Chains A and B, each alone.
Chain A
Amino acid sequence: MQVKKATNTKSVIEVKNLMKEFRIGSLGRTRVVHAINGIDFEIGEKEVLGLVGESGSGKTTVARVIVRLYEPTSGKILLNGEETPLRMKHKALVSYRKHVQMIFQDPFSSLNPLHSVGYGLTRPLKIHKIVEKDKIKSKVLETLEEAGLIPPQQIYDKFPYELSGGQRQRVGIARAIAVQPQLILADEPTSMLDVSIRLDIMNQMLELKEKEGVSYLFITHDLAGAHYMSDRIAIMYAGHLVEIGLSDDVINDPKHPYTQLLKRAAPKPESGLEPEKVDVGGEVPDLTNLPPGCPFEPRCPFAKPECKERVPDMVKIDDGHFTRCILYKNRTEQNEIKKV
C-alpha cells in the first residue's frame, strides 16, 4: 500500500522501499546486518517528521543513507520529485548536499577541534558558493546569530573547546542551515545535552523552520520530544516502519502494539503519578538473523501464528495514519466495503 501523508503539500524528499545492508565479519564468515528493510515515507515542505525508535532500530542509518554518508543498498530516494541515483560521484554529491544537510548527535565530536567556529562555517559557504567571496564573513555572522549564538563576533573566533555543549550544537545547526538547505536530518540533536537546554535547541530549530522554510527529519528515542517537535511521527522497529501518522494520532491513539508499548514505557508524570505496568519482556531482535515474519512478533502480546509467516503489509487506519500490523487488516477491508 502506498503510504501517503494526509495533506497534499509538495514533498521535499520521498523514500521508496529503501534498504540498507551492512556486511560484517571477516572473509568467509561474513554476515549481513539488515539495518533498513524497505521503508517508505515522504516529508513535505516546512514539515517535521519525527522518527522514533530504540537504539539499534536503524533510525540513524536512515538519516545517514538519505544524506548519502552510506550508499543505499536498494530503493529510491526522490528529491523534489526527481529520482536521485543510488551511487553518486563527488560532484553530484556536493550539489545533492546543497539541499540535504545533517545535524549530528554528538556535538563534542562532530566539530573539528583544530578549526575555529568561523572557519567551520566558511567552508560550506565556499564549497556551495552561496555568497560572493567578500560577503562570506558577514553571512557567517548572520548565520551564527540566527542559530542563537550571540554575540556572533565573539563566537566567530572561538574554538569548539571554548564552547558549552548547547553552544556547540548550535554551531552544528548553524553549519547545517548555512547552505540554505531544504531538508535537515537531525540525528538525536538533543540527546547529549542537558535537560535544561534541550528545549531551547528544539525551539531554535522550530523557529528556523518558520524563517527559512526548511523541513526536518527529527530522529529521537524520546516519544515526548518527538510529539513536541513534529507534525507527523514515524515509529521504527528492527529496520521497519511499524506506524506513521499525524503526531497527535500516533501519540493519543497508537495502533501498533510496539507503539503502545513505547507509550506505556515513556515517563509521563502528567497523567497521574502511578506509572503504568510494562509487562512486555524481550529485546530488539538480532539484525543479522531477522525472523521471517513480523519483527515484533516474539515480544508481541497479541501475536498470532500467521504473524510468524511474513512481514505484514502497511494497513491504512485513517487519512495519513498507517500501521504495519495484521490486527487491523480486517478493519480496513470493512472500511473499504463500506465506502463501496
Chain B
Amino acid sequence: MSALLKVKDLNAGYEFTKFKTWAVRNVSFELNQGEFLGIAGESGCGKSTLAFGVIRLLMPPGKIFSGSIEFNGTDLMKVDDENLRKMRWKEFSMVFQASMNVLNPVLKVRTQIYNSIKYHVNMTESELEKRAKELLNLVNVSSKYLDAYPHQLSGGMKQRVVIAMALALNPKLIIMDEPTTALDVVVQRRILQEVDELRKKLGFAIIFITHDLSLLVEISDSLAIMYAGQIIEKAPSEKLYAKQMHPYTYGLMHSFPPLVGKRQKLHGIAGRPPDLSGEIKGCPFYPRCDKRISGVCDVENPKLVEIESDHFVACHLYDGK
C-alpha cells in the first residue's frame, strides 16, 4: 500500500509575544490509504494541534514551526492558501469536537451542504439535491431533515450531518477530532459503526483523535499514543492491546476498569504532564515514570524506534534491544 500522508519531524505550537508553546514535538508518522489511525492521549498532549497542523488549519497564534507534510505526493507546506482551500473538503476534510457548534444556526441543513459542495464543483440545483439526499442516506438521517434548521436536530443527528458534509466530495482523508465525546454512549457507538462501514465502502482514511483509549482499541487499525507533544508508542491496535511497551501506555491502558469480569483494584498514573512552553530535558514522562533509569532517562529524550515489527516505542528501557 502506498502512503497517503507522510509527516516528518513536525514541530507545531502556539506563538505568543512573550513565549512559545511547543504542543507538537518532532512528530513523524505515515498513514496508508484507507487506514484507520487512532491518536490517543490526555488533554493538553497536543493531539488536536497535530490534527489541525497536518491539514494546515492552525490559526495564529497557532503555527507550524518546522517539518514536512506530504499528502498524496503534494508537499502541503508549499501549497498557498488559495490552493489549500480548494484541497480542503475535496482531498481531506475534518469533523470537529463540538460539531453542534459547527453548523450555522440560521441556515437550513440543505443550504449548508450545498455550500460546501458548490465551492468545489459545478452542479445544478437538482444534482445538488440528489447528492445531498444521498449523503444524508449514507449517515442514516431521513432526507426530510434537509429543510430543518440545526436546532431542530438532536445532537446525534447534527453530528451525522457534519459527517455527511465531510463525505460530500469523497475526500481521501477525514480527520475526526473527538467527534463523539459530546454524545451518549449508545449514539456514539452507532455513529462509529456507521463511519467504519462507510470507510470500508468508500475507502477513505481516518485519523481519529480521542482520549478514550478503550474505544479506540476496538475500532482503529493502528494506534498512536501521544504524551507531551510526542508520539511515544505506535503499533497496530491488537499488538498494542496485547503488549504495551511504554510505561505511559501501560498506565493509560490500565487506568480504565474493565466492564465485565472480576473487580480488582486498579491505579491511575500519579502526577501530571509537563508544561509544554519550555524545553524538556530528557524523557517527558520521566517524573511520572515508575521504571525510570536516572542518569539515562533524565538526560536524553528517547527516539521513536521500531522494537518489534510495526511496533514503535520511544523509551530507554528498550535501548539494548
Contacts and interface: CB of A to CB of B under 8 A. Distances in A.
Interface string B244-268: 0000000110011111110101111
B211 A194 contact: yes
A166 B184 contact: no
B260 A251 contact: yes
A134 interface: no
Given A166-B272, A197-B269, A269-B217, A281 B190 contact: yes
A228 interface: yes
A133 B214 CA distance: 49
Interface stretch (A8-16, A137-145, A271-279): A271-279
Contact of A281 (B140, B211, B237): B140
Given A224-B258, A265-B185, A268-B260, A194 B267 contact: no
Given A195-B256, A203-B265, A267 B184 contact: no
B212 interface: yes
Contacts of A224: 214, 256-259
B43 interface: yes
Given A164-B272, A196-B42, A270 B259 contact: yes
Nearest to A271: B260
Contacts of A170: none
A224 B215 CA distance: 12
Interface in A227-282: 227-228, 247-248, 251-252, 261-271, 273, 275, 277-278, 280-281
B67 to A, nearest CB: 27
A200 interface: yes
B1 interface: no
Contacts of A197: 268-269, 272
Contacts of A223: 185, 259
A89 B258 CA distance: 45
B114 interface: no
A42 B164 CA distance: 46
Categorize the interface residue count of chain B.
35 or more
A280 to B, nearest CB: 7
Contact of A266 (B259, B263, B265): B259
B140, B185, B251: which has the most chain A beta carbons within 10 Å? B185
A54 interface: yes
B77 interface: no
A247 B214 CA distance: 21
B43 A227 contact: no
A269 B270 contact: no
A98 interface: no
Interface in A278-314: 278, 280-281, 283-284
A265 B256 contact: no
Interface string A176-218: 0000000000000000001111111001000000000000000
A268 B257 CA distance: 9
Contacts of A280: 186, 190
B189 interface: yes
B259 A227 contact: yes
A225 interface: yes
A26 B266 CA distance: 50
A221 interface: yes
A261 B186 contact: yes
28 contacts: A194-B43, A195-B256, A196-B42, A196-B251, A196-B268, A198-B255, A198-B268, A199-B255, A200-B268, A203-B268, A221-B184, A225-B256, A261-B186, A262-B185, A263-B259, A264-B189, A265-B190, A267-B215, A268-B260, A270-B258, A270-B259, A270-B260, A273-B217, A273-B218, A275-B219, A278-B189, A278-B193, A280-B190
Pairs A-B, 8 closest by C-beta atoms = A228-B257, A199-B268, A265-B189, A267-B214, A54-B184, A196-B269, A224-B259, A200-B268
